[in-house]
């Protein structure tokens, strides 16, 4: 039996069907909670603002950065849902209704995307994703659960991002006529060392089960890194001072000293440039290769094949100028040669450097 829905406008004439029955909505969030995901599980948070006591973690391992959309859109869940054999987008936050009252549950939309039918009996898939209604697109961010396996809690972000690309290649298919203008795109990810632009960013630790951090970059800045004292404990006064520095950076208040000078006692806290905090190198400058790119169903989705016919997987697009060149080229020919570079961050993935 189909679930009752109603088409509601999101932005610019773009509409999606939303579930009407509270029991149906609860069933979806119960499915998420079974895997310790979603708002019904109080231990789950997609992202939290970066706190001073967490800054030290950035120097201990690899991390990535990804920009948030320019509007107020928040991360939710794109769910390949076995009980109903359909694809749903479940919001992670409750929405305010008339007079500011919030609904009992966040909204759940039905999304017109085709799925490989073998996914449903295998247990379904849960993606972290953001629905940006103003741009009629869903940004695919992470692979949280796949066919019975809790990838978020068992795999690093590097592995999950590679699996996400493969899932978009093999499991989901967008029919432009069916989707009504909706597109699905892969999130932009770069090494934390390259975070230099203003805006709202998510910092993605390359560890299983680690939630993201939100970092509000409002001017050129450096991250103050809290260092433990000799006994391994952090002095609360030092933590509070670091918090004050973060607040100054976020609020854009004037500094008492330039960022190039120590903000705190050198033995406890020092301003560490973002490039020095992240223990991750940008894509290594390996020998360039030539490959054949085939346009996929999604924007900025191109499948790479070696000149000898070997499959190389889905390409990574980091540069907006290259993205534009690819769109122009793919309109003339769905297959064409490109220059690629193997990514050291994502095993088995390649970045497109130019169109030939």
Same domain, 180 and 293: no
Kindly indicate the confidence band of residue 95, based on its pLDDT and cuts at 50, 70 and 90.
low
- 107 or 349: which carries more pLDDT confidence? 107
- Residues 225-275: pLDDT tens digits? 333 333 444 444 444 444 444 444 343 333 332 322 232 232 222 233 333
> Is the pLDDT score of 50 beyond 90?
no
Please report whether residue 240 resides in a domain: no
Please report whether residue 306 resides in a domain: yes
Highest mean pLDDT range out of 16-20, 37-41, 190-194, 293-297? Answer: 16-20
Please report whether residue 260 resides in a domain: no
Tell me the C-alpha distance between 296 and 304, whole Å. Answer: 10
- Residues 100-125: pLDDT tens digits? 445 567 899 999 888 999 999 999 99
- Residues 125-184: pLDDT tens digits? 999 999 988 888 899 999 999 998 999 999 999 999 999 999 998 898 887 677 777 888
Average pLDDT rounded to a whole number, residues 191-201: 77
* CATH assignment of the domain containing 338: 2.40.50.140
Tell me the C-alpha distance between 103 and 243, whole Å. Answer: 34
Interior/surface letters 4-26, b for 16+ CB within 10 angstroms, e for the rest: ebeeeebeeebebbbbeeeebbb
Q: What is the pLDDT of residue 251?
A: 37
**Quick one: three-class SS letters along 178-245?**
HHCCCEEEECCCEEHHHCCCCEEEEEEECCCCCCEEEEEECCCCCEEEECCCCCCCCCHHHHHHHHHH
- Residues 71-93: pLDDT tens digits? 668 889 999 999 999 999 999 87
Q: If we measure between CA atoms, which residue out of 220, 223, 231, 226 comes closest to residue 265?
A: 226
Q: What is the pLDDT of residue 238?
A: 41
Range of the domain at 324: 289-355
Tell me the C-alpha distance between 78 and 90, whole Å. Answer: 6
Same domain, 293 and 179: no
Q: What is the pLDDT of residue 218?
A: 58
- Residues 57-72: pLDDT tens digits? 676 678 888 888 866 6
Same domain, 36 and 156: yes
Average pLDDT rounded to a whole number, residues 181-188: 87
Please report whether residue 346 resides in a domain: yes
Please report whether residue 95 resides in a domain: yes
Q: What is the pLDDT of residue 130?
A: 93
CB contact at 8 A, 103 and 150: no
319 Cβ contact list (under 8 Å, min separation 6): none
Using the 3D structure, point to which of 187, 217, 241 is the last residue of a domain: 187
Mean pLDDT score of the chain, rounded to an integer? Answer: 74
Helix ranges (H only) for the chain are: 22-34, 151-154, 157-170, 176-179, 236-251, 274-277, 320-332
Q: What is the pLDDT of residue 15?
A: 87
* CATH assignment of the domain containing 84: 3.30.470.30
Four-residue CA torsion sign, 150, 123, 87, 348: positive
CB contact at 8 A, 101 and 225: no
Same domain, 19 and 152: yes
| Whole-angstrom Cα Rg for the chain | 22
Using the 3D structure, point to which of 187, 208, 234 is the last residue of a domain: 187
Please report whether residue 284 resides in a domain: no
Please report whether residue 349 resides in a domain: yes
Q: What is the pLDDT of residue 345?
A: 66
177 SS3 class: helix
Same domain, 176 and 296: no
Same domain, 303 and 181: no
Same domain, 294 and 182: no
Please report whether residue 309 resides in a domain: yes
Using the 3D structure, point to which of 187, 215, 244 is the last residue of a domain: 187
144 SS3 class: strand
Give, in degrees to the nearest 5, the angle at Cα 209 between 203 and 211. Answer: 30
CA distances from 129 to 109, 114, 146, 170, 350 (A): 13, 17, 14, 18, 22
Number of domains in the chain: 2
């Amino acid at each position: 039996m189909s679930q009752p829905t109603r088409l509601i406008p999101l932005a610019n004439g773009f509409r999606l069907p939303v579930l009407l029955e509270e029991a149906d909505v609860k069933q979806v969030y119960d499915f998420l909670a079974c895997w310790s995901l979603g708002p019904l599980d109080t231990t789950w948070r997609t992202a939290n603002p970066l706190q001073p006591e967490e800054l030290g973690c950035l120097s201990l391992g690899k991390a990535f950065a990804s920009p948030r959309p320019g509007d107020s859109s928040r991360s939710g869940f794109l769910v390949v849902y076995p009980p109903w054999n359909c694809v749903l987008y479940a919001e992670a936050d409750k929405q305010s209704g008339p007079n500011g009252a919030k609904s009992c549950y966040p909204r759940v939309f039905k999304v017109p995307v085709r799925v490989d039918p073998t996914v449903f009996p295998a247990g379904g898939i849960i993606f972290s994703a953001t629905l940006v209604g103003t741009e009629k697109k869903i940004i695919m961010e992470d692979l949280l659960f796949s066919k019975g396996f809790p990838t978020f809690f068992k795999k690093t972000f590097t592995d999950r991002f590679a699996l996400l690309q493969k899932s978009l290649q093999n499991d989901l298919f967008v029919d432009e006529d069916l989707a009504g203008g909706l597109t699905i795109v892969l999130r932009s990810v770069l090494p934390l060392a390259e975070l230099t632009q203003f805006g709202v960013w998510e910092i993605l630790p390359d560890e299983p089960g680690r939630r993201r951090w939100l970092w509000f970059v409002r001017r050129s800045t450096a991250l103050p890194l809290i260092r433990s004292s000799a006994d391994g404990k952090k002095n609360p006064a030092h933590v509070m001072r670091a918090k004050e520095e973060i607040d100054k950076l976020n609020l854009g208040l004037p500094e008492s000293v330039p960022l190039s000078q120590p903000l705190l006692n050198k033995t406890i806290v020092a301003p560490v440039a973002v490039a020095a905090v992240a223990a991750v190198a940008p894509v290594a400058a390996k020998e360039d290769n030539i490959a054949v790119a085939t346009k996929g169903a999604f924007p900025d989705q191109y499948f790479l094949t070696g000149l000898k016919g070997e499959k190389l997987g889905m390409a990574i697009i980091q540069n907006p100028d290259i993205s534009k060149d690819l769109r122009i080229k793919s309109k003339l020919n769905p297959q064409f040669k490109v220059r690629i570079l193997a990514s050291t961050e994502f095993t088995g993935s390649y970045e497109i450097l130019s169109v030939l």
